[in-house]
Every structure is written in structure tokens, then in C-alpha cells.
């Protein structure tokens, strides 16, 4: 029976720091990058040995600038990589030189262990043990494969019993730990009653996957799990076929086939170089390619991110023309939502998506509101001032040219832009406002001579009745305003894009 860990999956909140740690510091190979098979707007990175062999893999779902998770009961708590025993001292020295959080070495289960923290706070153990690599990485001290994972639970016996279904058997007990062993690695199950429960988010593990030889084995496992009252579906993940199941205390287990593997769509020497979109999302491929966060491999040219008042993300096209479109989402959106629209507006423009800082029932917004058309005036002014500061910081920090910026806002984002142009006239000189309305109760006098503004309002938009007030205020301030009505409600339609393309071309 094929046994052992296939891969371990966690969540990161910063893709570049994640790549720098796992591909840079640890020296793992990035063997695949895809849109998520459950959510294609979520980047999924796979690291492993030179071929991405089962048993060497750690994968990350990218929740860029997402909320932090919490380690706790019902979750994988640590991941361990095997490294040559004589390399532990070198790893310690490297970690200390780079200022990485590190502790040890110490002895655990008779093995020498060094503990590190990755940029998201995940505990990564380097275990000095001779375990062969199926496809060795370069370097004398490189990780060879996964040594195992540690699971926190309030019922270690139940987890151990369930793990036996996947080819594990008890190897030893040490205090609160039950060590379960396969042919190639271990599960350290820690009895931890009294701990808080786990919470999903950046810096937390999502699941651990175990190896199955083929699709027939996965189907057989599905039937056996049904006998235990754990119904589950089989999924084709292109690189493997798998099923998911939660063991009795809540840890998410996956059972995945060894094949076909990561060379099914890339040559071995090209692994990890291409972003793949899941087949079921092929119709959205162009949009997804601009929405998914970009990163640079260690040693490659990159754009350093600046610490500015708003969470933001760039998308740089292959042949940028020097122009930048700054995107402000609507209520409930994110910094990536309008990137497909921006890319259609000008495929050669660099896109700068920004995330609003106010929230309402968990949805991102740009400022607080009292009701649907009444807004917290102090918050509007404070956020407008903060965004003007963001623009100034972006111009300076990223070397952008003010005359190359076009601001595009939809709904709540358009509303903030409209307010900014009166409150801070020099911050925004060219703007496209899609479904924008007036949100200032007493807009100040402003000089908008030289400012170009396009507004499109939906003929059936329930907010259309309050759009003329914004149009009048902008025109009175001297803006070169082009106001259009489109055959739509509050939603965006192709006519919006066509009007914006023609206006921007002029």
C-alpha cells in the first residue's frame, strides 16, 4: 500500500514574502502556480523537490492581505522537512544572519529539530534525519522530503484511529504525543484539551493530504469512509485525483493520487514558470490572469511594495505603456475586482487596485454610511484626506507620473473620487466615475480647471436621482465633465466600457 503524506496546504497573506521564504530561504522549487480549483480568484502555489514529488510538497492558498488565522484545536499546527543531519548548524546560522525567528536545536523523539517561523507565523521544523529525496534539490543541505506534521486535537486517540485508514500505525508515545508512522513519514498527534479552536486565515494550515496509488484507491477510500458515516466526493485536480474528509475532531484530511503529477502540462525543466487556470474556468482566463497577484522568484526583478495607508496591488502587463489606472471598487469589492475592466480599458496600462478601509457587515467600503443615501461626513472627509495622502505616497514611492494616472471608481469607489476632487483638487486630475453620486452635504468650492471627468449613470439605477448633484458640483468647479446615461441599472454594462475607451482615447 502506498502510504505517507502527499502534500500539506496552508494559507499565506503575502505571496511575495511566501515565495522568498520557501523558494528563496528554504530552497524548495516552485513547481506549479494555478488559480484555485475551488476558487479560481485565489492563487495556489506548490513547492517541493525538483519534480514536485508526492511527499515533498507544501502548497499555499494565497489570501493576499487577508485576515490572519489562528492555530488551535482541530488543525495541523506544524510542518516538518527532513534535512541532512550535518546541515542543522548551517541552517541555524543562515536563519540568524537573515533575522528569521528560530529556536533550537533541540531533541524531539530522538531527532535534532530546528524550529523556524515563516513570514505568516507558520511553524516550520527542520529535522536532521537521513531521508532520501525522489528528485534531489541542489545544495548539500537542501530539504529532501516532508518529515511529517503535528496535529493539535482534544482527542488524540480518535485522530490516531482515523489516521490508520491512510496507512499509519502507532510508533511511540511521549507525554501528550502519539506518533503515528507510515513507510516514509510521521504524524505527531498532540492531545491539547483546553486550547482554543483553530480559525482559518493567513498563517493557518488548511489540510494535510495522504498518498494513494491511483484513482481506484481513492474510490475505494470513498466507499470505506461512507461506511464510517463520512460521505465525501471525488475531485479531479488535474495533477492528482482526490477526496476530502474531516476526521472526527475536525482536521481536514485529503487523499490524493500520486499521478499524473506536475509534468502533465509543463516540461520538467520549466516547472512553476507558467500560471495555469483550471479548465472549468477557461472562459474567465483573461480576467483571472489580471486578478491573481503577481510575484517575482528570488533573484528576479521585482517592484518593492511600499507601506502606504491603503492595501493595494499592482498588475503590470507584459508591455506597459507607462500609464497607470488606479481602481476603486464598489461596496463589498476588493482591490482586484476592477482589474479586468481596467485591462480591457487599456491592455497596456499598469493597474493599481486599492482596497477601502471601512467595513460594513464584513464588506469593504470607502467610508461609513448612515443609510443608503446618507453618509458619515466626518468619515468621508477623513478617508478622502487619507486617499490623497496615499496618492502622494504612491507617486513618490513608486516613481509614478501624476499626468499618467487615470482614476476609475465604481459605485462607492466613484463616490469617494467625487468627494476627493472637491476636497483635495490636486490629487485626482483625470477620473472615470461609474454610477457615482454626491455624498458631500456641503461640498467646498474648488478649482477643477484642467481636471477631466467622465460620469456614466444607469437609466434604471435607483441612485440615479442623486447623480445630477455631483455632475452640477463638478461642472461648477470648472471640471471638463462628460456625463452620459447608459441603458442599465446600477450594474456595469458593455456600454460603460465602450464610452470609457473612447473618452480615454481622446
- The fraction of the chain above a pLDDT of 70, given in percent, is 100
pLDDT, position 207: 97
CATH architecture of 308-505: 3-Layer(aba) Sandwich (3.40)
d(CA 385, CA 364): 18
d(CA 426, CA 344): 27
The backbone torsions φ and ψ at residue 68, rounded to the nearest 5 degrees and listed phi first, read -75, 145
pLDDT, position 330: 97
Identify the bridge partners of residue 78 per DSSP, sorted by sequence position.
123, 150
pLDDT tens profile 96-151: 999 999 999 999 999 999 999 999 999 999 999 999 999 999 988 999 999 999 99
Helix ranges (DSSP H) in 213-293:
215-227, 285-291
User: Based on the number of CB atoms within 10 Å of its own CB, is 386 exposed (0-12), middle (13-18) or buried (19 or more)?
Assistant: middle
Please tell me the pTM assigned to this model: 0.96
Low-confidence ranges of the chain (pLDDT < 70): none
pLDDT, position 193: 79
> How many angstroms from the chain centroid is the CA of residue 453?
33
The backbone torsions φ and ψ at residue 432, rounded to the nearest 5 degrees and listed phi first, read -115, 115
d(CA 143, CA 128): 10
Residues contacting residue 227 through CB under 8 Å, at least 6 positions apart? none
- Which sequence spans correspond to the domains of the chain? 5-279, 308-505
CATH architecture of 5-279: Roll (3.10)
pLDDT tens profile 4-19: 999 999 999 999 999 9
Element of type H or E holding 254: strand 252-260
d(CA 353, CA 454): 19
Element of type H or E holding 114: strand 111-117
Is the CB of residue 217 less than 8 Å from the CB of residue 224?
no
d(CA 236, CA 392): 47
In order, the DSSP letters of 159-178 are HHHHHGGGT-EEEEEETTEE
At residue 425, the 3 state secondary structure works out as coil
CA distances from 103 to 117, 496, 505 (A): 9, 56, 58
Amino acid at each position: 500500500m502506498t502510504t505517507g503524506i502527499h502534500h500539506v496546504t496552508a494559507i499565506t497573506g503575502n505571496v511575495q514574502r511566501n515565495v522568498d521564504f520557501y523558494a528563496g530561504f528554504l530552497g524548495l522549487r516552485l513547481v506549479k502556480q494555478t488559480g484555485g480549483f475551488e476558487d479560481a480568484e485565489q492563487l495556489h502555489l506548490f513547492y517541493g523537490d525538483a519534480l514536485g514529488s508526492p511527499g515533498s510538497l507544501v502548497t499555499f492558498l494565497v489570501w493576499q492581505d487577508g485576515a490572519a488565522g489562528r492555530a488551535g484545536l482541530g488543525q495541523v499546527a506544524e510542518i516538518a522537512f527532513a534535512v541532512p543531519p550535518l546541515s542543522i548548524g548551517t541552517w541555524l546560522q543562515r536563519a540568524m544572519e537573515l533575522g528569521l525567528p528560530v529556536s533550537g536545536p533541540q531533541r524531539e523523539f530522538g531527532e535534532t529539530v530546528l524550529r523556524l517561523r515563516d513570514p505568516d507565523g507558520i511553524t516550520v521544523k527542520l529535522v536532521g534525519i537521513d531521508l532520501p529525496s525522489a528528485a534531489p534539490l541542489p545544495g548539500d543541505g537542501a530539504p529532501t522530503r516532508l518529515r511529517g506534521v503535528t496535529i493539535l486535537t482534544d482527542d488524540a486517540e480518535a485522530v490516531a484511529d482515523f489516521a490508520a485508514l491512510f496507512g499509519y500505525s502507532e510508533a511511540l508515545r511521549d507525554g501528550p504525543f502519539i506518533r503515528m508512522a507510515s513507510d516514509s513519514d510521521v504524524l505527531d498527534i498532540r492531545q491539547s484539551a483546553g486550547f482554543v479552536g483553530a480559525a482559518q486565515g493567513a498563517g493557518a494550515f488548511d489540510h494535510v493530504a495522504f498518498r494513494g496509488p491511483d484513482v481506484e484507491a481513492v474510490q475505494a477510500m470513498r466507499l470505506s469512509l461512507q461506511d464510517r458515516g463520512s460521505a465525501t466526493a471525488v475531485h479531479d485536480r488535474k495533477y492528482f485525483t482526490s477526496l476530502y474528509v474531516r476526521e472526527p475532531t475536525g482536521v481536514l484530511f485529503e487523499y490524493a493520487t500520486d499521478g499524473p503529477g506536475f509534468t502533465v502540462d509543463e516540461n520538467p525543466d520549466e516547472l512553476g514558470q507558467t500560471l495555469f487556470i483550471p479548465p472549468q474556468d477557461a472562459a474567465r482566463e483573461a480576467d483571472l490572469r489580471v486578478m491573481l497577484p503577481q510575484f517575482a522568484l528570488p533573484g528576479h526583478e521585482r517592484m518593492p511594495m511600499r507601506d502606504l495607508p491603503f492595501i493595494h496591488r499592482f498588475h503590470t502587463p507584459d508591455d506597459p505603456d507607462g500609464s497607470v489606472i488606479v481602481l476603486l471598487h464598489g461596496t463589498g469589492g476588493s482591490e482586484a475586482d476592477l482589474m479586468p475592466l481596467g485591462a480591457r480599458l487599456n491592455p497596456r496600462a499598469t493597474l493599481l487596485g486599492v482596497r477601502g478601509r471601512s467595513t460594513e457587515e464584513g464588506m469593504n467600503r470607502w467610508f461609513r454610511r448612515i443609510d443608503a443615501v446618507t453618509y458619515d461626513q466626518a468619515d468621508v472627509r477623513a478617508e478622502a484626506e487619507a486617499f490623497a495622502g496615499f496618492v502622494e505616497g504612491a507617486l513618490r514611492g513608486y516613481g509614478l507620473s501624476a499626468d499618467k494616472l487615470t482614476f476609475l471608481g465604481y459605485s462607492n469607489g466613484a463616490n469617494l473620487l467625487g468627494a476627493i476632487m472637491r476636497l483635495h483638487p490636486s490629487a485626482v486630475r483625470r477620473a472615470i466615475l461609474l454610477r457615482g453620486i454626491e455624498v458631500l452635504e456641503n461640498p467646498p468650492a474648488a478649482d477643477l480647471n484642467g481636471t477631466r471627468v467622465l460620469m456614466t449613470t444607469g437609466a434604471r439605477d435607483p441612485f440615479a436621482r442623486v447623480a445630477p448633484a455631483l455632475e452640477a458640483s463638478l461642472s461648477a468647479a470648472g471640471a471638463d465633465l462628460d456625463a452620459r446615461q447608459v441603458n442599465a441599472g446600477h450594474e456595469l454594462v458593455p456600454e460603460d466600457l465602450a464610452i470609457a475607451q473612447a473618452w480615454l482615447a481622446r
